[in-house]
Amino acid sequence: MTETKARTTARALPGTARLRLGRVGETRHLGLIVALALLAVVGLITRPENFATSDNLVSILALASTIGVITVGMTFVIIGGGIDLSVGAVMALASVWATTLATQSYGPWVMALCAILVGTGAGLVNGILIAYGRLVPFIATLAMLVAARGLAQRISDRKTQLIRPENDAIVELSTTRVLGLPLLVYIFALVVVVGWIVLNRTTFGRRTFAVGGNPEAARLAGIDVRRHTMLLYAISGFCCGVAAILIMARTTTGSSTHGDLYELDAIAAVIIGGTLLTGGRGSIIGSILGLLIFTVITNLFILNGLNTSDQLIAKGLIIVAAVLLQRRGLVGRRA
């Protein structure tokens, strides 16, 4: 049934989508875009005075930026056949490490670098344990989740660490606006674009699909699957480091409680976006659309003054619905 559908689509678009060797078919994310549009319509109907305001749209994007950066890294890991449960905790650890008095004394650039190094380092540890220590990704990153959270508490002594006034350059990422959008949205966009290019236009990206789709075939084709796997987790960690900078900017703090349950939102966004949890197939655009759907729902619930518990229920239903629809080939599935 799926095959017939795909073929009809291909016939309907003779010139464009069919000629593509790539996985960027225009029709691919149609379902997600329709869903997003429907949510926008709901917003316009229920809160005509609030939803379409620039303030609200900016806050949706700003909200999406932090998890969005993490989602990009998560997409790499999942396409490569793994999973990273530690993202929220690693981001918290990076934010805490970057806001200690010692780090803050070196200025905002060092703080940003510190966040990225801590994130990448934690990701590398994940990667080494999984690729060379042969730990199951679920277990290795679960251990990292717990340990990174603990280390963050230890470093911060469970206190929220404020960014000192002389390092306000970090905070300005969220307060300075260019063309109406805060800088952190541009950082998010940059990560998405770079992530998309790496995944779709480089040998690394192509090999990621191979490693996730059939690791044995990849190995026998001469690809160093273990090294590649390790690098995928390092990328995820790097993204957590960037996300830590963004959350520091938004909250003006580093805290061991940042990013609680971010891993679930990120994984959910990736899955809604049509990436196979078993690896080998997926897309960054899909993940970002999935994330935007999530963020808009949160926004709608807040605007309408609804209960956050109902919001969680709605999100759960959406995950199930998205996966069921994808299995029927109605949303974002490649032929």
Partner 1 sequence: MPSPAPLLRMRGIVKHFPGVRALDGVDLDVHAGEVHCLLGQNGAGKSTLIKVLSGAHQPDAGEVLLDGRPVRLANPTAAMRAGIATIYQELDLVDGLSVAENIFLGHEHAALGFVRRREANRAAAGLLARLGHPEIHPATEVGRLSPARKQVVSMARALSHNARLIIMDEPSAALAHDEVANLFRVIRELTAQNVAVVYISHRLEEIREIGDRVTVLKDGRTVAVGLPARETPTAEIVSLMTGRDVEYVFPPRPAPADRPEVLRVEGLTLPGRFTGVSFTVGAGEIVGLAGLVGSGRSEIIETIYGARRPSAGRVLLDGRPVRPGSTRHAVRLGMGLAPEERKAQALLLEEPVARNITLAGLSRYARFGWLDRRAELAEANRLAEVLDIRPRDVRRPVKTLSGGNQQKAVLARWLTERGAADGAGGLRLLLLDEPTRGVDVGARAELYAVIRDLADRGIGVLLVSSEVPEVLGLADRVLVIREGRLVHEAPAAELDEHRVLDLVMVAPHGTKEGSGD
User: Which among 126, 81, 109, 129 is positioned nearest to 236, based on CA atoms?
Assistant: 126
Among 117, 124, 213, 311, binds partner 1 (CB under 8 A): 213
| Pick 181 or 210: Cβ nearer partner 1 | 210
Q: Compute how many other C-beta atoms are within 10 angstroms of the C-beta atom of residue 49.
A: 7
Among 59, 128, 162, 219, binds partner 1 (CB under 8 A): 219
Write down the least CB distance from residue 101 to partner 1, Å. 40
Write down the least CB distance from residue 327 to partner 1, Å. 15
Burial (CB < 10 A; 0-12, 13-18, 19+), residue 17, is middle
21 interacts with partner 1 by CB under 8 A: yes
Q: What is the DSSP string of 253-322?
A: EE-TTTTTTHHHHHHHHHHHTT--TTSS---HHHHHHHHHHHHHHHHHHHHTT--HHHHHHHHHHHHHHH
22 interacts with partner 1 by CB under 8 A: yes
134 interacts with partner 1 by CB under 8 A: no
Please give the size of the binding site for partner 1, defined by CB under 8 A.
29
Report yes or no: 325 and 31 within 8 Å, Cβ to Cβ.
yes
The C-alpha R_g of the chain, in whole angstroms, comes to 20
207 interacts with partner 1 by CB under 8 A: yes
User: Which among 100, 155, 156, 97 is positioned nearest to 122, based on CA atoms?
Assistant: 97
Residue 210 to residue 214: CA distance in whole angstroms:
6
Write down the least CB distance from residue 71 to partner 1, Å. 23
Residue 259 to residue 67: CA distance in whole angstroms:
8
7 interacts with partner 1 by CB under 8 A: yes
Write down the least CB distance from residue 197 to partner 1, Å. 9
220 interacts with partner 1 by CB under 8 A: yes
268 interacts with partner 1 by CB under 8 A: no
28 interacts with partner 1 by CB under 8 A: no
333 interacts with partner 1 by CB under 8 A: no
| Pick 47 or 207: Cβ nearer partner 1 | 207
Among 158, 206, 327, 328, binds partner 1 (CB under 8 A): 206
What Å distances lie between residue 243 and 116, 161, 334, CA to CA? 9, 17, 30
Residue 88 corresponds to which amino acid?
G
Interacting residue ranges for partner 1, rule: CB under 8 A: 3-4, 7, 18, 21-22, 201-204, 206-207, 209-210, 213-214, 216-224, 280-281, 334-335
